[in-house]
Structure 1
Amino acid sequence: MPNQERPITTVLNRLRRPLSLTWAGLIAERLVRAFWPFWTVLAASAAALMLGLHEVLPVEVVWVTLMLAGLALVVFAGFGIARFRWPRRAEAVARMDAALPGHPLAALADAQAIGKGDLASERLWQAHQSRMTERAAKAHAVSPDLKLSRYDTFGLRYVALLGLLVALLFGSVWRVGSVGTMTSGNAPQLAAGPAWEGWVDPPAYTGLPSLYLNDLEGQISVPSGSRVTVRLYGEVGALNLSETVSERTGEVGAATDSDQSFDILRNGELRIDGPGGREWKVFAKADTPPAVEFMEEGVKTTFDGQMSQPFRARDDYGVTGGTAIFNLDLAQVDRKYGLQAEPEPREPIQLDLPMPITGDRAAFSERLIENLSQHPWAHLPVTLSLRVKDAVDQDGTSETLQMKLPARRFFDPLAAAVIEQRRDLLWSRINGHRVTQVLRAISYKPEPGLFRSETSYLRFRMILRKLETRVSLNSLDEDARDEIAQALWDLAVLLEDGDIGDALERMREAQERLSEAMKNGATDEEIARLMQELRDATQDYLRQKSQQAQREDGTDQRGQTPQDMMQMSQQDLQDMMDRIQELMEQGRFAEAQQALEEFQEMMENLRVTEGQGQNGQSPGQQAMEGLAETLRNQQGLSDQAFRDLQEQFNPNSQSGQSQSNEGQSGGEGRGQSHEGQGQGNGAEDGNQQAENGQGSLADRQEALRRELERQRGNLPGMGGEAGERARDALDRAGRAMEGAEESLRSEDLAEAIDRQSEAMEALRDGMRNMGEALAEENQNAGGQGEAFGQLGEQGSDPLGRTPGQGGQVGTQDSLLQGEDVYRRARELLDEIRRRSGEGERPEVERNYLRRLLDRF
């Protein structure tokens, strides 16, 4: 019978790789245990030599220590060789077998001792062997046990390793060679390698890296003000430093001092004399002043007087800020009428130039955007100059630009007259009597149509009476003058823009008169006159609607101004009216009457959808507005908690008193509450207390959480995945508010701020998903949407966003409102960056500021 291969042989052939790894682990384990004292002494000796300890100790102590270290290395090496035993293959198999349940490898190496020849016994043995083979197939390499804690109870190996790492970082391998030059009774000589080190650190604002002098030769070109640091090693006096770049004239240390620092202020030479010395020619690059200039392309002024002046600025290392200065060019003023008097002194107009939020400020282009329509110098000759500065407070000034101060123009004769008298009153209070005379002459027996409404006439007379009283009593001080000037401005705007309601009424009356004329068989001349009246009334209404849209909405999500959109809508209406007139001229009065009814229905739909913006809101819109108000209030609480955290860790920072510290409500800091003062939308007393900024932060957080629970209970029915996501997001917001409340009660402000941030993020997700759910419902209901603000134009949601095609929620519109919000955003980011870089602030505050920078 031929010899069969034993099962253990087959299994071990399959386990060759894990067996080899286990065997290598046994070798490493025995090497570590046998030779750890040897490499511990070796590492400690190398660390001591690289750190230069032999240079500060007596020669006798150094040599005795080296001899003892050498003897210890020989002893520990012999001890390790004697102790080390090369592992056998069977030991690796036994270690692998010990890691398996049932020791299958040992079982496979056994042979059947009894029962041979018995069929049942042999089958039982084969089944046992098969089971052990399956277990052995799961064998894997066993990790070596490299722990030496029971041998090295004091952790000497870690001490030696730490010393070696320190020596590699701060020491020098070249110092080891200096041991050979040490003789009895003499100090150590200079090492064969470099015995000095030097660095050049450019000013921080340049953003340039440091230079290592040991790697440089010949010429060096660095910014003026760079800091030079040189360290001399070895015997004092063997090396010395000389330089002509610092302009130092005061107390200067010796040229052989081991540690020297100075600033590069001019061109010159830097030299290290002695063994291994070197010489450099240093060129100090002066920091050039920044430059700024006007750009001719892109200059424009909108219909309401908002100017846009492009400019370009540059600096070698970056512009840090700038100012635009307007000065009255008195020599160019046409001194007529109210401008004959000497003007009252006024400070120049100074506006901060917008800076890029991100990116390089070494060269950039920006736009100065501002509306100065209400300034006393509006439309008067002025000079404009731009001034920028860099990190070292060097100024750069542009050329002076002569211009008339951009402002809104008034085309209505009465409005233009009111604005002119307002200008004369602001020019000098001496003109007060003259202004009253002119205004009274304007309003004396006014012709029909001069004033658009009785309201404007009554306001005109009230302003005139108040001004006459002040002038007659000689009590026209600056405050009263400014108050009257503001009233005149509001009156002029009313006279110029008119009342949209009046325009609608005139347009409807024109439609009715034309309809009656066609029914009664009026003459062609009469119909033509009524048709022209309808055209004029419609054009007047659309013009006023366009101006109102520009003042309130800006630009729409397609980058198209409302005026452009209104012009397209106006063209559609003109086409309809042309069609009506053409039908009437052809004698097809029935078709003309039907077209006129369609025109009336279209305008009626426009008026209905406009009226739904306030009182006709859907439940979904009301819920969205309530959540938006809750989000604003939560932002205010978070701002207050952050200021309390600042004052807790930095009482002298006066974080709440900065004039630029503008809170959610828009007010300045001064330690006051900055949370939103929104409408409660039916909130309970606790929420009203939170809105008014009363009570502790925890109580106000609790009231806000309860208000959110009330709003969640009143949500309209929303189906689909978007509605479910909205509810989940609001649930997360409620839990985050509860966590913030608990943290506030335990006075853990940092944790409370984190929870409040989570609550705000969840609220934003909920509002976004809720908007998508409402859009889906509107689309399923026939695509009518909430309302159409203009012809074919969908209305905006409570966040100011316009639904896109197909009811999808989204917008490219800017959700920021107010004047120059981009500059405000840049100021906030710059302030956060500045505070996050101040090392004296608490770590918890700086961590919070870094999280803000990461998020925004």
Structure 2
Amino acid sequence: MTEQPTSGIDRSLAARLAASRLATRAVMVVERGWPLILPLLIVAALFLSAAWFGLFAHLPDMVRFGLVALFGIAALAALYPLRFFHLPTALEIDRRIETANALLHSPLRVQADKPGGAPGAFAQALWREHQKRMAAKLGSLGTDLPATDVARRDPWALRSVAALVLVVALAFSYGPSGGRIADAFNAAGMRDVVPSRIDAWVTPPAYTGKPPLFLTAEASRQNTAFTVPQGSDVTVRITGGTNVETLAYLEASGNSRDIEADASKEPAAPASTAQQERPAARQFNGKLIADGALVLKSGSDELDRWSFTVTPDTAPQISFAGEPKRAVNGTTELNYQIVDDYGATSARADFALADQQPLGARPLYGPPEMSLVLPRRGAKNNAARTTKDLTDHVWAGSNIKLTLEATDGAGQLARSETKNWVMPERPFANPLARAVIEQRRLLALDANTRPRVLELMDAITLRPEDTFGSMTNYLALMSARSRLKLAATDDQLRGVVSYLWEVALGIEDGSLSTAEKRLRQAQQALQDALKNGASDEEIDKLMKELRQSMADFMREFAQRNPQGKDGPLPNDAQVLSENDLKRMMDQIENLAKSGDRDKAQQLLSEMQDMMNNLRTARRQGPSQQDSELRKQMDKLGEIMRRQQEMMNDTFRMDQAQRGQQGQDDQSQEMPGEDGQQRQGNNGTPQDGGRDGKPMTPQEFADALKQLQEGQGKLKGELDKLNKNLEGQGMEPNEGFGEAGRAMGEAENSLGGGQGGAAVGQQGRALEALRRGAQNLMQQLQAMQSDEGGGPIHQRGDGRDPLNRPIRGSEGPNPDRSEVKVPDEIDMQRAREIIDAIRKRLGNALSPEIERSYLERLLDLK
């Protein structure tokens, strides 16, 4: 009787055997197939590495196609070993399992084997028992690893090189220069014919003030011809593309200039995935010097073209707008014009000594440095003005050659004409201070004159009790002498020169009050702040200090110079009130806060000049010549007044004789309290006769005779005045000569009874006197300017000796800084006078001479 195994045991054994056989089959397939497929994988890895490294993108089409063909042939050759591959059989799998698990007597194959011959019942039972015992050995079956035997075929492990290159190429392909697999199969004409993005722009030089010009903007695509300043930078950036683009500039003259890509502008290694996906960028930079065209190409294909007209940058021009000037305190003032197409960037004054220096001279100082203020944009005539105090320089008082220089943004230099000039120096009133300054100048201009300077110092200090008014000044000068004698280097000599300047200032300004010192310090501090661009808070602080020091100075000045102490002020004295100074300081502060600091600095300099004039006028009185000139000017004003009255009297006498004096003229007759008619200034009756009746011929002849005598006397006074002016150094005045001739003609006309002709001749004489007065004022101003005394003396009421408003332009005049607005009474009176003149002029019966006179009053001609 045969014993059958339980169904559970058979099912469990069958499941284990199936799993073990499946795993062993996979191991055997890998073991047999890996050596056969490895050549194909190596060929594929090399192909992918070449593609990802971008090798195919940089090769010509023929070379690239040939390389791809070689890879194809190698791939086909690598497929040949696969023909030897065959799948493992069931028997081979069972043997591999038994071998792997070290099973004896083939227990796995026994389960599927059968006994030979004709089995009987006993034999069958015995075989089943044998299978059962062999099955017991199959409790746990394992599988071994594949044995490809590749190491024996590749003992140098070259297969790992291909794998490493593949991994590196994969990482490189994500970079900006990485390639693609499609590059191996696409022709060059199919890859980025036009760069993905082209950006081009022109940046003009900064000093031109012009904005950049974007060539690839939509607004610029309509016009490919552009006008740019010379020296502009052109930039072309290409993002993506084939990296073979070229840029060239074809000049109009035929020259071609290649513009290379700037390697420093290429982007660095990407730091993020978004940057890794961004295409590569190349940037070209060049300058536009001449007219031409900018051409961008990719290989032989032209991608874009831009034409440029380059505007040349002309050299600047600088010239003097007048002679160099000086203020009372010696401040240098230069007026000039700078012309440049884009404006100059810097300007300076170049000083050189005009006098020949001794042979072998060793100067301690070079020329002074003076930078010039540039004209403001839009300034009239490109004019500018610069003032600087150079009185402390050792060249002060020397003959110099002055040349102005200007430089534009392109570095082009321009020079003006050279002017010979005496460099302003500080006026020292103290003789001892002047002597010290002269010694300082000798030593500074030539260090070899040190023995000479020591001798001069010894001469000055020989009798100190007679020379020095203060022991402090004597000790200071002796200290300077000791320092000069012990000086061994040029630096020590320069220290002595600086010390001598301080000694001279101490001698000259020893009596300078504390208030004056604080005022000078406050003015200089504000001047420096405006020049250096200080903040508004600092300007406010310095303005407060200036106002306080100005108030202290004016208070001290009033105490030291009380009104009427030295007698009444002369007619030419300039009255400067505290309100005028306050108004000027308000203007300086407003200009500084509004941004116009150049104007504020100029106004502050003018205020300093006014204060210097005030201090100078306090120390120095008017000269005798000035007094004589003022007297002559007063006489001239009196002559003009009398000529005006005489012309009016002549006109009335003529009208009275004609019997045509109307009601308007009669209304102007003002009899005196005694009932007699009023007499004119020249002793002639002002009305037509006594009691309003017309004058008789005899009375008219007597009146004309009186006018004739008065006119002759007035002409004699004018001739005498003219001779006195010429005797005081004034040039002959054509206006006075013409006035004298007109007066003579009027005198003859009055003698002949021709009153109407005399009126016209007297009018011409009056007009000539006015022109002569103007010419005389100009000569006086020129004389005063040459003497360094500033503008001509002015009356305290803001009028000249002829009682006319002053219209000078040299510096601010506090008395005319604001225009007086007429009040209502003045305007009403003016209207009444104009209406009366117009009414009289509208009378058609008025004679021609009267109409001419009235038209002159209304200034219709």
TM-score (norm 1): 0.34
TM-score (norm 2): 0.33
